[in-house]
Structures are given as structure tokens and as C-alpha cells.
Amino acid sequence: MSGSAPRAPKFPLRLDQMTAPARLPAAAPRKPIAKTVVKPALARTLVANQRPVLRPQAHVQHAHTEATRRVAPSGLGLDSADVRQRMVRRLHVAGLHADAVLDAMARVPRHLFIDPALVTQAYEDTSLPIGHGQTISKPSVVARMIELLLQGSNARAKGSLGRVLEVGTGCGYQAAVLSLMARQVISVERVRPLHDKARSMLDRLHVGPVRLVYGDGMLGHAPNAPYDSIIAAAGGDALPQAWLDQLALGGRLVSPMRQPGSAQQVLVVVDRTERGCVHSVHESVSFVPLKSGLVG
């Protein structure tokens, strides 16, 4: 074997097999969002001076209002666009600045994806149980991962996430957000009741082009490959080979992955370039485990 290390590590990729760190296309490393502390007074000033009010698209607003009447307890004000605006402003203050992501998150009614008993927490920056031992990711993590995806080469060239594979549909919230920035979203879920529930909610909301697949996302979804963007909502010890195989040239993958010898997960980004895959490691995160096989 020659002295020079291969540029692309062999996959499935584990963190302890990663060689040189992180060639991150976007410039400066950022602090983990979870650790960002915003003083209330400063936050108020920034909120007052920042983003214009975003309005949901008419069809989303309509479907959402209708669905809200059926799902959310009355009098909570969760069907108001303002409550999402406030969440989006807090994300902006916390350092998440991609307009496309914030606009999409301002349009998707997160409370409709959440158990009615927990609905008052829908616009807090917290993960929440969605049944079957799974959770909906916290809004700042959804925003951060999609922001990373948008910095991929194809996404920057297209001004869109292009064709997206999401592993772990869960309740379908993130798939809905992704769909507003993508040509097509294929979202795979291994737990049938979650898949079914997400399907009925997304059917009602009429968001962007999403195709929900009941299957083992560790295999990706070959029929629609290659993908410009791959995002995983569950983390294992390694990135499945199928994900790398199904990543388009110029595509980007964002996934949680466990650090070797520890329970700690980090966000890993992989870019497929002409010269192979280039990876970078980002902040610590906490996701449910990536599991193989199906739950019927």
C-alpha cells in the first residue's frame, strides 16, 4: 500500500475510521445551537428589528386551519401564524439564518403533528414523544440540519434541496418542512403506525411533493436514487453503505452518528465530490437510534 492515504474512506463510515477532519464548505465553525444563550433583552431587540412577518401559503393555511379545528384544543392560539413566527424569530436569534428554512418552518403547523396532550409545547425548542418510543426533533435541530443540507454543492447550484431522501419519517413534520424546499422528498419509516399517521397528516396538509415509504431506511430507497440531499433523523454507529451509494455527485448527506466508545452522537456531513466523499464532523446531538428491520 502506498504511503498516501486514500481520499475517500471506505464505507460504511465510522467516526473512528475518519481521517482528516472536516473540510466544510461553509466557512466558520458554529457553536452548538443548544448552547446558545440569548439574553432576553437582546432577544427582544433583535426580534423587533428582524424578519418581516411571513405568511403561510394560502393552501397550507387553509388545510392547516381546517385540521387545527379538528385536532388542537381551542383557545390555545396555536392555529395562529404568529406563534410560528415567534418560534422562527427565536431560531434566527439563536443563529439559524437560512431564509428558506425559516420561511418553511413558519409555514408548517408543528402542533398538528404532536399528541394533543403535548400540544402546548409544540413551538418550544424541544423534542417531544410521538409514540412507539420515538420523538419529533427539536425545531433548532431540524433547522440546523436543513441549513447544512442547503450548503451542499447541488443545493447551492439549484437553489433547492433537489431530490431528498429522509430516513425516519416519524410524525412527518420534517418531511413537510423539507418538501417546501425540494423537488421531491422520499421519506422512509420502519414503524408502520408512524408511517400511516404521517401519511394521513401530510395528505390533509397538502404540503410539497412528499412520497412516504414504509421500509428499512438503512437500505435507503434505490428506486428514486440518486439524491441531492440525504437527511437521517436517527443515528447509528456507522453510515450505511446504501446512503453513500445513493448520494448524487455534488450531493450532501447530514446524519447523526455515535462517536466510538461513547454514547455521544455528533452531526456528520458527507459531500460526494469528483474525488470521492469528503466528511466533516459538527456539534453534539441526541437522536433516537437507527435500527434495521421493520415494525409492523
Give 134's strand partners.
131
**Min dist. Cβ of residue 191 to ligand SAH (A):** 4
Taking CB under 6 A as the criterion, the residue among 190, 197, 258, 279 binding ligand SAH is: 190
**How many residues form the binding site for ligand SAH (CB under 6 A)?**
25
User: Which residue out of 137, 140, 229, 280 is catalytically annotated?
Assistant: 137
Query: What CA–CA distance (Å, rounded) separates 224 from 205?
Result: 23
Taking CB under 6 A as the criterion, the residue among 112, 114, 233, 242 binding ligand SAH is: 233
Taking CB under 6 A as the criterion, the residue among 60, 114, 128, 188 binding ligand SAH is: 188
Active site residue 80: no
Check: CB of residue 101 under 8 Å from CB of residue 92. Answer: no
Please choose, out of 69-77, 88-96, 98-106, 285-293, the segment that lies near ligand SAH by the rule CB under 6 A: 285-293
Grid cell for residue 229: 440531499
**Min dist. Cβ of residue 123 to ligand SAH (A):** 14
CB hemisphere CA count around 86 (13 angstroms): 11
Please choose, out of 10-18, 40-48, 213-221, 266-274, the segment that lies near ligand SAH by the rule CB under 6 A: 213-221
Q: What is the DSSP string of 64-116?
A: HHHHHHHHSPTTS-TTSHHHHHHHHHHHHHTT---HHHHHHHHHS-GGGGS-G
| Residues 148-187, interacting with ligand SAH (CB under 6 A) | 167-168, 170-171, 173-174
Taking CB under 6 A as the criterion, the residue among 15, 218, 239, 267 binding ligand SAH is: 218
- For the beta carbon of residue 90, count every other beta carbon within 10 angstroms: 19
Q: Which residue has the cell 414504509?
A: 214
136 interacts with ligand SAH by CB under 6 A: yes
CB nearer ligand SAH, residue 63 or residue 290: 290
Asked whether the CA dihedral 198, 112, 81, 92 is positive or negative, the reply is negative
Number of residues assigned to the chain: 296
Residues that bind ligand SAH (CB under 6 A): 130, 134-137, 167-168, 170-171, 173-174, 188-191, 194, 216-218, 233-234, 288, 290-292
Which residues are tagged catalytic? 137
